[in-house]
């Protein structure tokens, strides 16, 4: 089974957090194809997508996975979070989450 996903990011700075907004956001890849579930899981593990937007059970097809925030610029305090939005059902996303030991 092939999977398609979009990969996005958002960044925050101390100043943007004060006003409750992102300092930057956008697409890393609009459409990335994975040949099978193993390739998708390997990619997610390698890139740290270890959290789901729904927890403890994924009930929506709109659920996505994301990384911990990490600092990209210590001078400005910019932190970044990357998200992967997989185009598949909530049932498949629960399976993915279980394979990643998220749920």
Tens digit of pLDDT for each residue in 1-20?
A: 899 999 999 999 999 999 99
Q: Could you tell me the pLDDT band of residue 98, with boundaries at 50, 70 and 90?
A: very high
pLDDT of residue 103: 82
Tens digit of pLDDT for each residue in 62-96?
A: 999 999 999 999 999 999 999 999 999 999 999 99
Helix/strand/coil for 52: strand
Tens digit of pLDDT for each residue in 34-70?
A: 999 999 999 999 999 999 999 988 999 999 999 999 9
- The whole-angstrom separation of Cα 52 and Cα 94 is 10
Phi and psi of 94, rounded to 5°? Answer: -65, -40
3-state percent breakdown (helix, strand, coil) of the chain, nearest 5: 25, 35, 40
Tokens of 81: 């979070």
Write out the DSSP string of 66-101.
Answer: EPPPEEEETTTTEEEEEEEEE-S-HHHHHHHHHHTT
Is 12:23 a contact under the CB 8 Å cutoff?
Answer: yes
Is 79:73 a contact under the CB 8 Å cutoff?
Answer: no
- In percent, the amount of the chain with pLDDT more than 70 equals 100
């Amino acid at each position: 089974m092939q999977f398609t996903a979009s990969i996005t990011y958002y960044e925050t700075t101390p100043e943007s957090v004060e006003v409750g907004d992102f300092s930057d956001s956008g697409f890393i890849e609009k459409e990335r194809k994975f040949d099978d579930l193993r390739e998708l899981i390997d990619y997610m593990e390698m890139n740290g997508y270890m959290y789901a937007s729904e927890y403890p059970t994924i009930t929506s097809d709109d659920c996505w996975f994301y990384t911990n925030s990490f600092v990209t610029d210590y001078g400005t305090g910019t932190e970044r979070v990357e998200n992967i939005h997989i185009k598949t059902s909530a049932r498949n996303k629960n399976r993915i989450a279980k394979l990643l030991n998220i749920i």
